[in-house]
């Protein structure tokens, strides 16, 4: 199969006039070249069309099979292959002395070939053909015998991927690498039957060198085995090569992986100092003398150079010893820089050119942003000198009905919905994100807390990351920081979430070790950790952090601030309010354990687990302690797994390092018992699994977008069985006064009191008709909203989030299906079964409705609506433009269609 290289290709020549600037040399002494020498660096015409670096999308044409060869037993368990895998990524370490043993493991004398499925001559013609990214778990049926904690989907077990690819003869003499953005998990990689490396942590991006066993001019065979232990995750992790895979080809002397680091130590409106540090790799057995040159450009929307250079670094000669690395740094000054901010997401590109003997041997482009950030204990987070309250959400990595397999459009849609709510920050809970998410945050204007781990050496599940921590934590942490440190959106590193070492008297020592690793890689951003134990914030742990992040401890903010006024404080994980979209249970109790029935949770937004709070409680604490940086709410979207309060896995409630907290959790478990739940997804989301806003969306919008005229009423007003009964009404609005009307009669006008975040009319007697609210702000009319008793369900309506798709086989359209009465009003309790059909160059890849208890397979083309709504996800077919039509039908209702186009 032919592969299409990226746009990184040979540079025809360097500029003849090099602007005078400062060049700083680190770790290697070499003279800088003067302007008079610049012409000597002109690239020879003979090499001007040769590709010096290729980054090739390697997602197409894989073969897949679940399971293992017969009788493999534990032959490929991590402990048996550890010595062959551990050297992978040693280039990330300061002192890497490990080397893999010779040969391929054959750990069982009775098992002739433990890697049959890795051999080039193995017959794989009956294996399933597919393209990446791929998550095998989400393709399966929901199973009631599986725990709700991990989504009731079959993500665990082993599986293999194979790919046959042509290595052209021109690969001889080059370095060829396989870059994997994420593989879930315990990956082992063979090339032409030889085990060449692997990586246990399913969230890290990593690289293996194919060069020693590559056969240029021939067909080569890659085989990758993954192994997900059943007791390895607290949520749905997915299974498979679920992120992008790349083939990278370079010359033997080249810029190292993630080898360019751009910082902006001095930023003013008049000028910015830009430091660009470069790490070079020499993979040859002899030393190399090369010349480095740098150019800085404005960036286009794809992060590529646009227009003429805006700054030039002075070229310099660098010596790189045999089989070693060398580091060099440039400093340039940009006049009147255009700053990156949440409103103006401007970026630049640093272009690094490596020249040997007058020929270009490598070219790397690195997008970056110029911005000034400060994290202070008294003023909060400052971006370009202005305070920006962190209005963030935590996100798990799954994409709902699409599972863990990444899709750019699906991630973009999530961010669009969050931005409409007023969200400005993302916490990557609790692991390194897909690199594409950070690219989107750069482009769309979101701040990011980039998180590394959910546990350290003390685990939370039997086979979780703690099993690999000692061997891999340094490489995983360095890989995260090096990969992500040029993104302007990343404002802080989190080295852990609710880690159990908090409860150990010497746990701070390990925290200090991890923080030191991060600071070795990047000193420009603060380090945080999510603390769920009260005592942890006052132990030695807080002393090694730049930011103390409290999880569900708003009642501790004032005490911590008084004890440690010099340490910035953040709500690293807040609220965990639980609700089901469109569900309302009566009477409306005030106890946060109320509001639960039929595996659903009432949407009055008053209910939370014992350890959690409502949004109102969190905001009250922030307003009383305005120095708090802000918050990351648990969670922006519902996600697969962890269906608290119906989580049937007791271990999820026992992750408490604080003995008092743990005792309380154990008591709660004893009272609840072990009841197997129907639920397959969480209730924490402000937005449900299908992407439909819950009532809480408008609660946060009122808080986070105070200048947006808006008002939202809950509950709906279709209650024929409640005529004459008390039915409380709540209103979320950015206004400061509100008056409620029922069928034109005023039910009272209220003025918002200090530290009050919703308007409540708790004694309303239900009668059908129209419920309407008028609001005022600063004495002026602001916004209004209404809820109307609808007629019976009469028809379907369809609405696509976008009508034009790219014909690339990846682009998506998310189509909302609404059950409406004859006047087009959504019927709030409708749950009709709907059938879907698509014609044209597209396919239905998933359906959903946001119901945490719905066990219909995501791939089904029939779905019941849940409280009036359902979702259909359409994907274009590659290389096939044309008209696309989706039709929906349901017994007894008028059908609907929507027309799209793939271009």
Task: Give the catalytic positions in this structure.
Answer: 498, 573
- For 783, the token pair is 């916004």
Token pair, residue 122, equals 């193995």
The answer to whether 293 and 247 are in contact (CB under 8 A) is: no
Helix (H) or strand (E) holding 662: helix 659-672
Give the CB-side neighbour count of residue 469, counting CA atoms within 13 A. Answer: 21
Return the number of other C-beta atoms located less than 10 Å from residue 39's C-beta.
Answer: 13
Q: Give the integer Cα–Cα distance in Å for 372 and 440.
A: 20
- Token reading at 508: 């701070």
User: CA-CA distance, 331 to 189, in Å (whole number)?
Assistant: 40
The DSSP string of 342-408 is SS-B--EEEEEEEEETTEEEEEEEEEE----EEEETTTEEEETTEE--EEEEEE-S--GGGTTS--H
User: Angle CA(224)–CA(225)–CA(228) in degrees, nearest 5?
Assistant: 140
Instruction: Count the Cβ atoms, other than its own, within 10 Å of residue 239.
Output: 31
Q: Which residues pair with 71 in a beta bridge?
A: none
Strand partners, 497: 530
Distances (CA, A) of 138 to 151, 173, 224, 239, 853: 9, 42, 20, 8, 16
| Burial track 285-313 (b if 16+ CB lie within 10 A, e otherwise) | eeebebbbbbbbbebeeebebeeebbbbb
SS3 203: coil
Element of type H or E holding 295? strand 288-299
Write down the residue that tokens 């701040």 correspond to.
447
Among 372, 373, 371, 369, residue whose Cα is nearest residue 348: 369
CA distance 549 to 629: 10
Long-range contacts of the stretch 409-414 (C-beta < 8 A, 24+): 409/810, 409/811, 409/812, 410/812, 411/436, 411/437, 411/440, 412/440, 412/444, 413/691, 413/801, 413/812, 413/814, 414/636, 414/637, 414/691
Which among 470, 714, 489 has a CA at the least distance from the CA of 581? 714
Residues 6+ away with beta carbon under 8 Å from 323: 282, 283, 284, 285
* Alpha carbon distance 416, 699 (integer Å): 18
The strand pairing partners of 772, in sequence order, are: 741, 786
Q: What beta strand segments (E) does 789-892 contain?
A: 795-800, 804-805, 812-820, 833-839, 842-848, 862-864, 869-876, 882-890
Return the bridge partners of 195, or none.
190
In contact, 509 and 430? CB cutoff 8 Å: no
- Measured between its terminal Cα atoms, the distance across the chain in Å is 24
Closest by Cα among 181, 769, 175, 105 to 436:
181
Contact call for residues 400 and 690 (beta carbons, < 8 A): yes
d(C-alpha 440, C-alpha 435), whole Å: 9
Q: Nearest-CA neighbor of 168 among 2, 17, 371?
A: 2
In sequence order, what are the beta bridge partners of 274? 332
């Amino acid at each position: 199969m032919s592969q299409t290289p990226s746009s990184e290709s040979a540079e025809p020549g360097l500029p003849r006039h090099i602007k005078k600037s400062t060049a700083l040399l680190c770790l290697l002494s070499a003279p800088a070249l003067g302007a008079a020498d610049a012409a000597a660096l002109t690239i020879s015409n003979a090499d001007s069309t040769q590709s010096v670096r290729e980054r090739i999308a390697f997602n197409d044409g894989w073969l897949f099979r679940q399971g293992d060869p017969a009788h493999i037993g534990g032959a490929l368990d991590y402990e048996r292959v550890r010595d062959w895998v551990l050297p992978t990524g040693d280039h990330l370490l300061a002192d890497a002395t490990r080397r893999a043993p010779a040969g391929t493991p054959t750990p069982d004398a009775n098992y002739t070939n433990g890697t049959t499925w890795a051999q080039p001559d193995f017959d794989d013609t009956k294996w399933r053909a597919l393209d990446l990214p791929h998550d095998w778990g989400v393709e399966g049926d929901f199973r009631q015998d599986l725990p709700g904690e991990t989504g009731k989907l079959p993500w665990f077990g082993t599986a293999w991927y194979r790919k046959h690819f042509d290595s052209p003869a021109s690969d001889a003499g080059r370095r060829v690498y396989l870059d994997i953005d994420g593989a879930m998990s315990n990956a082992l990689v063979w090339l032409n039957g030889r085990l060449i490396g692997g990586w246990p942590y399913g969230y890290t991006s990593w690289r293996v060198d194919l060069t020693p066993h590559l056969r240029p001019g021939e067909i080569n065979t890659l085989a990758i085995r993954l192994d997900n232990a059943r007791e390895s995750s607290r949520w749905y992790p997915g299974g498979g090569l679920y992120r992008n895979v790349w083939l990278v080809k370079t010359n033997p002397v080249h810029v190292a992986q993630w080898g360019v680091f751009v910082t902006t130590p001095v930023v003013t409106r008049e000028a910015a100092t830009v430091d660009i540090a470069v790490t070079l790799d020499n993979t040859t057995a002899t030393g190399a003398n090369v010349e480095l040159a740098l150019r800085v450009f404005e960036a286009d929307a794809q992060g590529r150079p646009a227009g003429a250079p805006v700054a030039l670094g002075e070229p310099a000669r660098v010596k790189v010893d045999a089989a070693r690395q060398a580091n060099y740094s440039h400093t340039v000054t940009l006049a009147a820089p255009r700053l990156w901010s949440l409103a103006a997401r401007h970026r630049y590109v640093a272009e690094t050119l490596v020249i040997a003997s007058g020929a270009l041997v490598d070219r790397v482009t690195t997008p970056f942003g110029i911005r000034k950030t400060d994290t202070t204990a008294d003023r909060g987070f400052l971006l370009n000198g202005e305070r920006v309250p962190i209005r963030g959400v935590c996100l798990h990595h799954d994409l709902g009905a699409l599972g863990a397999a990444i899709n750019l459009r699906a991630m973009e849609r999530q961010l669009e919905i969050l931005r409409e709510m007023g969200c400005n920050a993302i916490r990557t809970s609790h692991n390194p994100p897909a690199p594409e998410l950070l690219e989107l945050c750069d482009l769309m204007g979101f701040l990011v807390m980039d998180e590394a781990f959910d546990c350290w050496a003390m685990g939370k599940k039997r086979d979780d990351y703690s099993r690999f921590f000692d061997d891999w934590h340094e490489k995983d942490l360095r890989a995260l920081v090096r990969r992500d440190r040029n993104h302007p959106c990343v404002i802080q590193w989190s080295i852990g979430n609710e880690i159990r070492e908090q409860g150990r008297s010497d746990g701070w020592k390990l925290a200090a070790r991890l923080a030191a690793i991060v600071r070795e890689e990047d000193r420009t951003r603060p380090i945080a950790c999510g603390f769920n134990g009260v005592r942890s914030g006052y132990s030695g742990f807080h002393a090694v952090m730049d930011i103390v992040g409290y999880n569900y401890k708003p009642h501790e903010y004032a005490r911590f601030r008084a004890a440690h006024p010099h340490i910035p404080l953040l709500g690293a994980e807040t609220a965990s309010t639980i609700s089901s979209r469109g569900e309302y249970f009566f009477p409306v109790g005030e106890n946060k354990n109320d509001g639960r029935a039929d595996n659903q949770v009432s949407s009055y937004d008053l209910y939370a687990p014992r350890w959690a709070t409502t949004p109102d409680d969190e905001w009250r604490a922030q307003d009383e302690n305005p120095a708090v940086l802000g918050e990351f709410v648990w969670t922006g979207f519902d996600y697969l797994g962890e269906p608290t309060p119906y989580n049937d896995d007791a271990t999820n409630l026992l992750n408490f390092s604080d003995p008092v907290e743990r005792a309380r959790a154990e008591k709660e478990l004893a009272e609840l018992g072990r009841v197997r739940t129907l639920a397959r997804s969480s209730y924490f989301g402000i937005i449900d699994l299908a992407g439909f806003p819950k009532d809480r969306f408008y609660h946060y919008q009122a808080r986070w977008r105070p200048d947006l005229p808006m008002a939202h009423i809950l509950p709906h007003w279709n209650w024929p069985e409640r005529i004459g009964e008390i039915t409380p009404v709540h209103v979320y609005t950015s206004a400061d006064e509100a008056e409620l009307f029922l069928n034109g009669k005023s039910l009272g006008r209220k003025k918002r009191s200090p530290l009050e975040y919703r308007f409540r009319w708790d004694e309303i007697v239900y009668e059908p008709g129209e419920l309407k609210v008028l609001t005022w702000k600063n004495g002026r009319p602001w916004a209004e909203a209404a809820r109307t008793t609808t007629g019976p369900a009469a028809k379907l309506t369809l609405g696509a989030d976008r009508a034009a798709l790219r014909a690339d086989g990846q682009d998506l359209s998310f189509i909302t299906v609404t059950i409406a009465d004859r006047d087009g009003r959504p019927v709030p309790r409708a749950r009709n079964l709907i059938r879907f059909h698509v014609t044209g160059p597209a396919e239905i890849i998933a359906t959903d409705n946001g119901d945490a208890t719905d066990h219909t397979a995501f791939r089904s083309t029939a779905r019941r609506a849940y409280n009036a709504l359902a979702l259909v996800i359409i994907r274009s077919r590659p290389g096939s433009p044309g008209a696309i039509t989706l039709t929906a039908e349901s017994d007894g209702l008028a059908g609907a269609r929507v027309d799209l186009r793939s271009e």
